[in-house]
Structure 1
Amino acid sequence: MIVTSVGRILTMVRGKVQMRRIENTASRQVTFSKRRSGLLKKAYELSVLCDAEVGVIIFSQKGRLYQFSSSSEIQNTIDRYHRSSNDADTYKANMEQYILHLKQETTDMERKIELLEVSLRKLSGQCLGSCSTDEIQMIGDQLDLSLRSIRARKAQLFNDKIQQLQEKERSLKEENAKLLAKCYANPWQSTAYPRVAAIDSQSSRSEDVETGLSIGLPESLTRHHPAQV
């Protein structure tokens, strides 16, 4: 209990270590040794626990080298770092080039859209005050060509529609002829075609009706005026 209390008191008194250069040479050397060992130990634990490739290089104040590598040689880790760094630089350069290309394409597209809008306004009869005679003539030729194309397309659509209607008319006539042929071939079995049967029966009855028409004067007049007959 006494030892624990003393440790807590010392921790509270010492407080947080300030991150600055240790002026005392002996203290600096002791701190370097302790923290170097801890750093290399943490690097080893990271490589084992996480299956990561870790490389640590430390140079002391006097130029002494301390290193740790999870691979067979630390040079392999250094080469891999250079390759990754070069790939990152190449990717960054390619992306910058691609962005510049997109910006240039955007500028060109905006210019083309602006020219098309000006041309469209001129074709609709607007903004003609600044046009020369040659430009006016060219706009007129373009309009004539467009009008001929529109009329040709219109005529083609009308012809196609007429052909469709004619084909439909021929189909209806053929169907009507087939129905009439069936009706006349079976005059007593026309229940499926009541309208045609009714027309046929009406025509037959009209042929059987005897008319009372005769040529000459009525009989009453011949009795009263026999000499004129």
Structure 2
Amino acid sequence: MGRGKVELKRIENPTNRQVSFAKRRNGLLKKAFELSILCDAEVGLLVFSPSGKAYEFASHDMGRTIARYRNEVGLSQSNNQGFRTMEILRTEIDDLKRTIDNLEERHKHFAGENLSMLDMKELKQLERQLRIGVERIRSRKRRVVSEHINLLKRRHRALQEENTHLQKRLHELQEANIGSSRILGE
């Protein structure tokens, strides 16, 4: 009795997708190993996870296998500078895409999303990073509040001094007004 036919489409649930990736990756690596042993074939296999982590199997030296492949498809004879530049740019673009994906995933983790994919060690590390971040935020907040309080105290002192000055002036004007009314009244 065999399994039912699996519809080939992207698995939407991130946890199920990660589990399926791990199982199928291991199966693929096992098949590559078996092919190299049973058929005495030179096998090189590279697999990059969605997070950018590399997994590889090589029955011989991977560098030698890649050089042999390049030679076979005519890449090693290509002296075309444009082709090499394109290859370098593609590699850089792929690296940047992986970096963006990693950063987006970390952002989701910091927001408390997609935590089911993390193991205990990663959860503890995330918790530590969040704790450090909260401490920095609180420290900055205390500094801003303290600066604001000091500014308000300086304004308060300046207003008190101005008020004292105005009261003296009012008192002087009232005394001058009383003195001039005495002179007129005499």
TM-score, with length taken from structure 1: 0.39
Could you say which structure has the larger radius of gyration?
A: 1
TM-score, normalisation: structure 2: 0.47
